[in-house]
């Protein structure tokens, strides 16, 4: 392996009394993909933010190309060829995709820039209207635009903070090909992910952080169990309840009925088009699709956050089509939105205040502590402001409502995004247990693995319609067909 492009020497970073990084020393070599793994809150994003100039370390040094770098902003790092694609898209909602990219590149939007952007999109085999305003695109599409933006400056060190993990399979594979090309040109990639199989697929070396310290650095050939052991202290992949143990689904007793529903997007286009789906008591139904096919609008319509133009929605037998979001909650709905930062939590409130807001009855201190413990939220202190939590821990607060109430139907949009493996299993397991006790779950997800693992039925959404429904004991056999329908309809 060649020389280090970046040397991280004894870096420490504290936020009040939280030690996010505790003396991290690490080299990033030229021409490598270095994967960083660790539980939620272990310090991965903080390390990435220091490297890209968003945070200044309290102690320690960052050496780039042999010289100590003192970045005071991401702009300084960008000038040195270090760019980060963050876990949470950093785009301005009211600007178009093209305007956002222009802003990042310090250019004015022009026809020639549009052509360059379209060429990168072509490399991905993807086309989209780059004049669309960012507020109208999904979270996943925003993340994709972040990748495009970063690649346009030909970075020397590209930092990907969980920004590619949830891309649709084909786009992710193309992104992997593109970063492998970067590496062939001797550029480097620091890749943060929670998915161990993904890490093994892409990485050359693997660093595991725990409580802000490097606990292991592995080379190629490492086993998933070794990484798991370093991350969590146990080797086994924690399984979820096998589906055959689930109680019989009562399809005749429907907890959610979406009947020929049409919903418009922010542009007045029908994003959901006369779509019907129902969920029986004891059933988990997944809706899978490539982001931008109407899944977000469908979730919002069920939650009462978006108007239903035609058709009707019933929760637990009640017609809720015209009900307010809170009325739907009263009738037994729990909705976990796609973007926890925007809709899932109140960032300025504490963990406990958020949880008290979700619970429909008064909950005591012990219930709050119990939910924090079960989900492994760090820091554990219930008065911590949610804005101070790591991405995965914010998502945990958003999904904690699953543990705090006994709803009839859960509608969850990408609920395990940003969660480490342990917490992901807990969330899926909770949904299975909830279905076992007679509830129903509509899981809207881009993660086909997850849908196959936990569902009784998998419906594929394409252009706002259900293109196909797959059903059976073993949905695994339909995997490639499901993926094909997702892409080709
Ligand atoms: N701006 C901040 N203010 C206060 N605390 C912070 C801030 N940013 C991070 N922290 C704390 O530092 C610790 C490490 O957070 P970090 O975001 O680096 O974790 P992470 O490994 O990236 O987690 P995740 O997998 O959830 O994204 C956490 O305990 C977090 O609460």
pLDDT in the model for residue 178? 86
pLDDT in the model for residue 248? 58
Q: What is the pLDDT of residues 66-83, one digit of tens each?
A: 999 999 999 999 999 999
Q: What is the pLDDT of residues 264-284, one digit of tens each?
A: 988 788 999 999 999 999 999
**How many whole angstroms from 273 Cα to the centroid of ligand 1?**
40
**How many whole angstroms from 407 Cα to the centroid of ligand 1?**
31
Q: What is the pLDDT of residues 410-420, one digit of tens each?
A: 999 999 989 99
Q: If DSSP states are collapsed to H, E and C, what string results for the chain? A: CCCEEEEEEEEEEEECCEEEEEEEEEEEECCCEEEEEECCCCCHHHHHHHHCCCCCCCEEEEEECCEECCCCCHHHHHHCCEEEECCCCCCCCCCEHHHHHHHHHCCCCCHHHHHHHHHHHHHCCCCCCCCCEHHHCCHHHHHHHHHHHHHCCCCCEEEEECCCCCCCHHHHHHHHHHHHHHHHCCCEEEEECCCHHHHHHHCCEEEEEECCEEEEEECCCCCHHHHHHHHHCCCCCCCCCCHHHCCCCEEEEEEEEEEEEEEECCCCCEEEEEEEEEEEECCEEEEECCCCCCHHHHHHHHHCCCCCCEEEEEECCEECCCCCHHHHHHCCEEEECCCHHHHHCCCCCEHHHHHHHHCCCCCCHHHHHHHHHHHCCCCCCCCCEHHHCCHHHHHHHHHCHHHHCCCCEEEEECCCCCCCHHHHHHHHHHHHHHHHCCCEEEEEECCHHHHHHHCCEEEEEECCEEEEEEECCCHHHHHHHHHHHHHHC
Residue minimizing CA distance to atom 12 of ligand 1:
20
- Asked if pLDDT for residue 238 goes beyond 70, the answer is no
Q: Which of 41, 193, 383 to mutate to test the pocket of ligand 1 (most atoms within 8 A of CB)?
A: 41
**How many whole angstroms from 147 Cα to the centroid of ligand 1?**
22
**168-177, 305-314, 395-404: range with lowest mean pLDDT:** 168-177
pLDDT in the model for residue 236? 57
Q: What is the mean pLDDT of residues 401-425?
A: 91
- Asked if pLDDT for residue 1 goes beyond 50, the answer is no
Residue minimizing CA distance to atom 17 of ligand 1:
390
**How many whole angstroms from 390 Cα to the centroid of ligand 1?**
4
Q: What is the CB < 6 Å shell around ligand 1?
A: 15, 18, 20, 38, 40-46, 87, 378-379, 388-393, 418
| The model's pTM | 0.87
ipTM score here?
A: 0.98
Residue minimizing CA distance to atom 5 of ligand 1:
388
Q: What is the pLDDT of residues 243-267, one digit of tens each?
A: 544 555 666 689 999 999 999 988 7
């Amino acid at each position: 392996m060649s020389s280090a492009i970046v040397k991280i020497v004894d870096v420490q970073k504290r936020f009040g009394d939280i030690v996010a990084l505790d003396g991290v020393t690490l080299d990033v070599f030229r021409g490598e993909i270095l994967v960083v793994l660790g539980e939620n809150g272990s310090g991965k994003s903080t390390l990435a933010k220091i490297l890209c100039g968003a945070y200044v370390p309290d102690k320690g040094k960052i050496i780039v190309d042999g010289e100590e770098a003192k970045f005071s902003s991401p702009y300084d790092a960008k000038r040195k060829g270090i760019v980060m694609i963050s876990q949470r898209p950093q785009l301005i909602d009211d600007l178009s995709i093209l305007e956002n990219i222009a802003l990042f590149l310090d250019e004015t939007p022009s026809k020639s820039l549009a052509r360059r952007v379209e060429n990168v999109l072509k490399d991905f085999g993807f086309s989209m209207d780059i004049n669309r305003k960012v507020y109208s695109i999904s979270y996943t599409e925003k993340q994709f635009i972040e990748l495009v933006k970063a690649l346009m400056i030909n970075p020397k060190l590209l930092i990907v903070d969980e920004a590619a993990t949830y891309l649709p399979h084909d786009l992710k594979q193309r992104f992997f090909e593109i970063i492998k090309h970067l590496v062939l040109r001797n550029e480097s990639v620091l890749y943060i992910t929670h998915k161990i199989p993904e890490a093994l697929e892409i990485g050359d070396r693997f660093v595991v952080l725990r409580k802000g310290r490097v606990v292991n650095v592995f080379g190629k050939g490492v086993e998933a169990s070794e990484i798991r052991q370093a991350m969590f202290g146990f080797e086994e992949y924690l399984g979820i309840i096998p589906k055959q143990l689930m109680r019989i689904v009562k399809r005749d007793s429907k907890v959610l009925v979406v009947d020929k529903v049409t919903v418009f997007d922010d542009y007045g286009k029908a994003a959901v088009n006369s779509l019907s789906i129902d969920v029986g008591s004891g059933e988990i139904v997944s809706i899978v699709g490539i982001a931008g096919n109407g899944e977000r609008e469908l979730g919002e319509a069920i939650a009462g956050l978006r108007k239903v133009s035609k058709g009707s929605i019933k929760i637990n037998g009640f017609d809720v089509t015209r009900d307010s979001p809170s009325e739907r909650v009263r009738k037994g709905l729990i909705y976990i939105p796609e973007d926890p930062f925007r809709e899932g939590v109140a960032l300025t409130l504490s963990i406990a205040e958020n949880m008290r807001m979700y619970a429909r009855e008064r909950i005591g201190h012990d219930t709050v502590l119990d939910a924090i413990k079960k989900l492994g939220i760090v820091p554990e202190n219930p008065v911590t402001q949610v804005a101070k939590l790591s991405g995965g821990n914010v998502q945990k607060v958003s999904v904690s409502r699953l543990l705090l109430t006994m709803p009839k139907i859960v509608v969850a949009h990408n609920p395990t995004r940003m969660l480490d493996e342990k917490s992901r299993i807990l969330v899926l397991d909770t949904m299975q247990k909830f279905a076992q006790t007679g509830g129903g779950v509509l899981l809207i997800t881009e993660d086909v693995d997850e849908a196959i693992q936990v569902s009784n039925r998998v419906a594929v959404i394409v252009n706002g319609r259900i293109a196909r429904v797959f059903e059976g004991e073993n949905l695994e056999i339909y995997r490639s067909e499901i993926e094909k329908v997702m892409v080709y309809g």
